[in-house]
A and B are shown apart, each in its own frame.
Chain A
Amino acid sequence: DQQVKQNSPSLSVQEGRISILNCDYTNSMFDYFLWYKKYPAEGPTFLISISSIKDKNEDGRFTVFLNKSAKHLSLHIVPSQPGDSAVYFCAASANTNAGKSTFGDGTTLTVKP
């Protein structure tokens, strides 16, 4: 049973436009969500997070939205840049799950110049 799902394996957008990456989860006990970015031949790096007490968190071009009732979160990148091309992983954790994160399968974002 996959508790964190990223249903789009890939996404392609034009430079300057908005990129929207989606993530769904099934475990209602998840209360902390993170996004990581991974370039080829490198480890993932933390991008942005959100606690379940909030519905939005913004950091520069990156905004994460959380809809608890739908068990859905999304990462918005505006404006998208070619350097944003990477694999994006969504992760979720819950205090009752020993707190460790469960990762989604990832979405490969390609930003075309």
Chain B
Amino acid sequence: DVKVTQSSRYLVKRTGEKVFLECVQDMDHENMFWYRQDPGLGLRLIYFSYDVKMKEKGDIPEGYSVSREKKERFSLILESASTNQTSMYLCASSLSLAGEQFFGPGTRLTVL
């Protein structure tokens, strides 16, 4: 059974804190993605990676960075969390960039 796991389901952080969101996939997929989901705004792509150590900005990369040191792991980093980064964060992986994506369960991040 293919799986994408995210390190936390719920996370509460304070403004200014550095936040790490971890994502691991067991499907040997080349491509991994980070999205945020907000009411009425759908899924917005933050960053994606098509290979180890490779990353590309998505539609809303400001305030975020990513790390992909191993094929199976893709981390999203909030260098200094702000209240407008309170959101649901979804990680996904896929065999091809355009193809079906497999999503993790999401991390609901609240920044106070």
Q: Is the CB of B98 within 8 A of A44?
A: no
CB interface residues, A 29-79, toward B, < 8 Å:
32, 34, 36, 41-46, 49
* Nearest CB in chain A: distance from B44 CB, A: 8
Determine the interface band of chain B, counting residues with CB < 8 A from chain A.
Answer: 20 to 34
Q: Is B21 an interface residue (CB 8 A)?
A: no
Of B12-20, B69-77, B79-87, B89-97, the one with at least 4 CB within 8 A of chain A: B89-97
B48 partner residues in chain A, CB cutoff 8 A: 100
* Residues of A close to B104: CB separation below 8 A: 43
In the complex the two chains form, is B101's CB within 8 Å of A101's CB? yes
A103 to B40, CA, bound (A): 12
A54 to B56, CA, bound (A): 31
Asked, given contacts A42-B105, A42-B106, A43-B105, whether A49 binds B100 with beta carbons under 8 Å apart, the answer is: yes
The answer to whether B92 and A93 touch across the interface, beta carbons within 8 angstroms, is no
CA distance A95 to B98 in the complex (A): 8
Residues of B within 8 A of A98 (CB): 56, 97
Q: Is B60 on the interface with A (CB-CB < 8 A)?
A: no
Query: Whole-angstrom distance from the CB of A95 to the nearest CB of chain B?
Result: 7
List the B side residues contacting A16 at CB < 8 Å. none
Contact of A43 with B106 in the complex, beta carbons under 8 Å? yes
CB-CB under 8 A from A34, the residues of chain B are 100
A89 sits at the interface (CB 8 A): yes
A9 within 8 A of B: yes
Task: List 27 interface pairs A-B (beta carbons < 8 Å), by A numbering.
Answer: A32-B98, A32-B99, A34-B100, A36-B101, A36-B103, A41-B106, A42-B105, A43-B4, A43-B105, A43-B106, A44-B90, A44-B101, A44-B103, A46-B101, A93-B98, A94-B98, A95-B98, A99-B97, A100-B33, A100-B98, A102-B45, A103-B42, A103-B45, A104-B42, A105-B40, A105-B42, A106-B42
Counting from the closest, the 8 A-B pairs by CB-CB distance are A43-B103, A99-B97, A105-B42, A99-B98, A93-B98, A103-B43, A46-B100, A44-B103
